[in-house]
Amino acid sequence: MVKSEFKRRRRELMRMMGPGSIAILPTAPQLIRNRDVHYPYRPDSDFYYLTGFPEPEAVLVLIPGRKQAEYILFNRERDPVKEQWDGAMAGQEGAVDEYGADDSFPIGDLDDILPRMLEQCERIFYIMGCNAKFDKRLSEWINAIRCEARSGVQGPVEIIALDHYLHEMRLYKSRSELKVMRQAARISAKAHKRVMQVCKAGLWEYQLEAEFVRECAHQGAKSQAYPPIVGAGINACTLHYIDNMDKVADKQMLLIDAGCEVDCYASDITRTYPVNGSFSKPQRELYELVLAAQEAAIAKVKPGNHWNDPHDAAVRTITRGLIKLGILKGTLAKLVREEKYKAFFPHRTGHWIGMDVHDVGDYKVDGTWRLLEPGMVLTIEPGIYIPAGSKGVAKKWWNIGIRIEDDVAVTKDGCEVLTKDIVKTVAEIEAIMAA
C-alpha cells in the first residue's frame, strides 16, 4: 500500500474528529499458541489501516490540531539483544522516518505520557470492548484525571465510538485498496486452479489444503486470510469445516473455501467439484442450481440496489430449483415466506470483505438495508448442503455440499467480479480436471 494512502486516511479521520479530540488505538496483542510458541503475528486491521505499522506492542494516538505533533506512535524501543532473536524493530526513529509519525515514544512510557495528552482533550475516540486489558488502562487514566478535578484539571467529557467512523471509511475501498484486493483474488484463483488440477481420490483433505497454500506462496502471498476449508462428501456440509483431516474418495464432491491475504487484504473464494473430475447427474443438477443462484445474485450487485437484493435473488432461485428437483414441496411464495429453503441453504449470501474477511461496515442504516455504492466489496456465496439422513430427501442427493463464492466490487454502473479468473461452469471444471 502506498504510504500517502495511510496519511490520507489519518487526515480524513482527524477532519471528522475535529479539534479538542484524541483517538487512541492499540494494535493486536501477540498471542501464545503454547508455552514459548506464538501464533504468527497479524496487526489489528483498524490500526494497520491508519498506520501501515506491522510490529506488535504499538499504540496510535491522533490529536487533530495539536501543534507539536498530531500523529503520535508509541512503539517498542530498539534492543540489539531482542533484535538478534526476533528481527529488526523500527524504534522511535523508524516510526517517524519510515511510518510518517510526527512523534514517537517508547511503548513503556505510555502510562506517563498518554494521561497528560488526555487531560488536554474533551473527547476520546476509542473502540471499547475489543481489548479488555487496554479498556482497563484507559479507565484508570480517566479516573486519575477525575481525581485531579479539584486542582482545576478538566479532562475528557465524552467517549465516542471510533469504530463507527473508521468502519464507515473502511467500507468504501479506494483505487489502491481495490488494486491489492485484485492481486489477492488473482493469486487465490491460481491456487484454486492448482488444487482442481491435482485433486484425485486417495489424497487427504490437508494435502489439498497444503497444495493451495503452496501455490499462494509460489505466487507471492505468504498468508491466508482465514484457515482453508477443505471438505469432501459429508464434510462439505459443515459450513466452516477446518479440520481437513479425511481422505477424499471417488464419487464425492469436494468443497474448498480458501483465500490468501495480501498486505492485510483478504480474498475469499469457494469452488466445489467432483473429486474424480466428472459430475454425476445429481451432482450436476444441484451444482447448476447453486451456480444459477450465484449468477442471479451477482446480477443484483449494482449501485441503487440494497444489501439484501442479492440474497433475495439467491433465495428465490434456490427455492424454485429445489421445488423442480422434488426436494422441496409447495409453492414458491409459501416456501420463501416460511423460510423452508433454510434446511438446505442455512446461511446468508455474503458479507463485506476487505482487510477482514468478514469485513466491517453496517449492513443496515436507520433500520433498513443499506444501498450498494461504488467501492463497496462483498462476497456472493450461495450454497446447498444435504447431509446423509436428510428427512424426506431422496438418497441420491445425500452427502452433497456445494458452495460457490466470489468477491465482487460495486462499480459506477454495476460490478466487477474480482475473482473471475477461476472457472465455475460444469464444462470448464471438467475440462481443467481432465487435462
Active site residues: 36, 240, 257, 268, 347, 351, 358, 381, 385, 403, 405
- Does position 356 interact with Mn ion (CB under 5 A)? The reply is no
Residue 211 or 356 with smaller CB distance to ligand GLY: 356
- Does position 244 interact with Mn ion (CB under 5 A)? The reply is no
Output the nine-digit C-alpha cell for 363.
449492513
Q: DSSP characters for 147-181?
A: HTGGGT-----EEEEHHHHHHHHHHS--HHHHHHH
- Does position 359 interact with ligand GLY (CB under 6 A)? The reply is no
Under DSSP, is residue 70 helix (H, G, I), strand (E, B) or coil?
A: coil
State how far the alpha carbon of 202 is from the alpha carbons of 182, 212, 231, 279, 434, in Å: 34, 17, 13, 18, 17
Amino acid code (one letter) for 235: N
Name which of residues 254 to 273 contact Mn ion (CB under 5 A).
257, 268
CB of residue 363 vs ligand GLY: minimum separation in angstroms?
Answer: 14
Residue 257 or 359 with smaller CB distance to Mn ion: 257
Angle between helices 426-434 and 281-298 (to 10 degrees): 120
Residue 156 or 383 with smaller CB distance to Mn ion: 383
Residue 74 or 241 with smaller CB distance to ligand GLY: 241
Using CB under 5 A, which of the segments 121-129, 246-254, 320-328, 371-379 binds Mn ion? 371-379
DSSP structure class, residue 122: S
- Does position 349 interact with Mn ion (CB under 5 A)? The reply is no
Using CB under 5 A, pick the residue from 379, 399, 404, 424 that binds Mn ion.
379
- Does position 406 interact with Mn ion (CB under 5 A)? The reply is no
CB 106 within 8 A of CB 74: yes
Closest CA to 298 of 404, 396, 369, 218: 404
Q: Which positions ≥6 away from 190 have C-beta within 8 Å?
A: 215, 219, 421, 422
- Does position 209 interact with ligand GLY (CB under 6 A)? The reply is no
Per-residue x/- track, 389-428, ligand GLY (CB under 6 A): ----------------x-----------------------
Using CB under 5 A, which of the segments 112-120, 215-223, 312-320, 397-405 binds Mn ion? 397-405
CA pseudo-torsion sign 75, 80, 82, 84: positive
Give residue number: closest CB to ligand GLY. 257
- In SS3 terms, 123-147 reads as EEEECCCCCHHHHHHHHHHHHHHHH
CB 114 within 8 A of CB 141: yes
- Does position 268 interact with ligand GLY (CB under 6 A)? The reply is yes
Residue 104 or 224 with smaller CB distance to ligand GLY: 224
Q: Give me the residues that bind Mn ion (CB under 5 A), please.
A: 257, 268, 379, 405
Q: Give me the residues that bind ligand GLY (CB under 6 A), please.
A: 226, 257, 268, 351, 357, 381, 405
